[in-house]
Amino acid sequence: MRYQVMTAALAVTTALQFAGPAAATDLEVTHWWTSGGEAAAVAEFAKAFDATGNHWVDGAIAGSGGTARPIMISRITGGDPMGATQFNHGRQAEELVQAGLMRDLTDLATRDKWTEIVQPKSLLDGCTLDGKIYCVPVNIHSWQWLWLSNAAFEKAGVPVPKNWNEYVAAAPALEKAGIIPLAVGGQPWQSSGAFDVLLTAVGGTDTFLKVYRDKDAEFAAGPEVAKVFKAADDARKMAKNTNVQDWNQATNLVIAGKAGGQIMGDWAQG
């Protein structure tokens, strides 16, 4: 099953202007792309940057964005900024921009015609504040996926589910076969992300928008959202024996057939 409704893009926000080959620069770039596939992707960025005659100094921070962002922000506000850093697309760096701590990239974006390159063009909106561009989108992901292990369900003797209710109904058989029904790592962002996916998958797009966009408290207290909390409670029970921390460790449980499934973004495919 896959739930594709909302997308999130990652962006690199630069704190320094890149120097040209005539004045080669060691540029530290901080990020939290540390899993195998992510590290390989970062290596391609580094390779392309090094080809300009400059030198990419990798500043990988193990863990998640929740771990890395406070470190990044502390360095920037403390007067020890890196050359460039990863943030999630949107307003995570807005206060830094307002404080004058992020470099204005508008001239560079205009010169290199970013509006013709970045697709969809709306991705640049999250990098734009008061008409000026402060970051460059480098990839785009969707959270709304439920990855399932065919081998796990075959071992449990139950069909691969086609919807959430069938998945919940299959959980006892998975547990009886010694399989974790749902793999969820111990980092809080994994649980909150899974909840948002269930909010859309179980409640529907309108429910998601009424809660997050409209901030409709009366609707949030109603039966549609109650169904989502019931699904989240089922997910919590199904994931209780996961006992891993990182998202890629949970993904490996699914790959190995030790877990029935995982709610995780499309980055889980490597």
Q: Which residues contact 89 (CB under 8 A, 6 or more apart)?
A: 8, 9, 10, 11, 123, 126, 127, 135, 137
When pLDDT is cut at 50, 70 and 90, the band that residue 51 belongs to is: very high
pTM confidence score: 0.71
Do 166 and 200 lie in one domain? The reply is yes
CATH number at residue 31: 3.40.190.10
Q: How remote is the C-alpha of 18 from its chain's centroid?
A: 27
* 17 assigned to some structural domain: yes
Both tokens of 190, joined, read: 């994994």
- Asked whether 72 and 85 are in contact (CB, 8 A), the reply is yes
Look at residue 12 in the predicted model and tell me its pLDDT: 59
Q: Which tops the pLDDT comparison, 22 or 234?
A: 234
Res. 75: pLDDT tops 50: yes
When pLDDT is cut at 50, 70 and 90, the band that residue 13 belongs to is: low
Do 159 and 200 lie in one domain? The reply is yes
If you average pLDDT over residues 162-175, what whole number do you get? 97
Do 169 and 83 lie in one domain? The reply is no
* 180 assigned to some structural domain: yes
Res. 40: pLDDT tops 60: yes
Do 122 and 155 lie in one domain? The reply is no
Do 13 and 134 lie in one domain? The reply is yes
Do 233 and 255 lie in one domain? The reply is yes
Look at residue 99 in the predicted model and tell me its pLDDT: 86
In the chain, the percentage of residues whose pLDDT exceeds 90 is: 65
Q: What angle do CA 170, 176, 178 make, to 5 degrees?
A: 105
* 2 assigned to some structural domain: no
Look at residue 7 in the predicted model and tell me its pLDDT: 33
Res. 11: pLDDT tops 90: no
How many residues in total does the chain contain? 270
Mean pLDDT across the chain, nearest whole number?
88
In the chain, the percentage of residues whose pLDDT exceeds 70 is: 90
When pLDDT is cut at 50, 70 and 90, the band that residue 186 belongs to is: very high
| pLDDT tens for each residue of 93-135 | 888 888 888 899 999 999 999 999 988 888 888 888 899 999 8
Look at residue 156 in the predicted model and tell me its pLDDT: 98
Look at residue 127 in the predicted model and tell me its pLDDT: 86
Q: How remote is the C-alpha of 114 from its chain's centroid?
A: 23
- Asked whether 262 and 184 are in contact (CB, 8 A), the reply is yes
If you average pLDDT over residues 167-183, what whole number do you get? 98
Look at residue 262 in the predicted model and tell me its pLDDT: 98
Q: In terms of C-beta density within 10 A (0-12 exposed, 13-18 middle, 19 or more buried), how is residue 255 classed?
A: middle
Do 159 and 130 lie in one domain? The reply is no
Tell me how far apart the alpha carbons of residues 65 and 30 are, in angstroms, rounded to a whole number: 11
Do 96 and 51 lie in one domain? The reply is yes
Do 163 and 126 lie in one domain? The reply is no
Domain finish residue from 123, 140, 157: 140
Residue 58 domain boundaries: 9-140
Tell me how far apart the alpha carbons of residues 67 and 156 are, in angstroms, rounded to a whole number: 37
User: Which has the minimum average pLDDT: 55-59, 75-79, 256-260?
Assistant: 75-79
User: Which has the minimum average pLDDT: 8-22, 138-152, 224-238?
Assistant: 8-22
Q: How many domains are there within the chain?
A: 2
Do 109 and 188 lie in one domain? The reply is no
Do 231 and 157 lie in one domain? The reply is yes
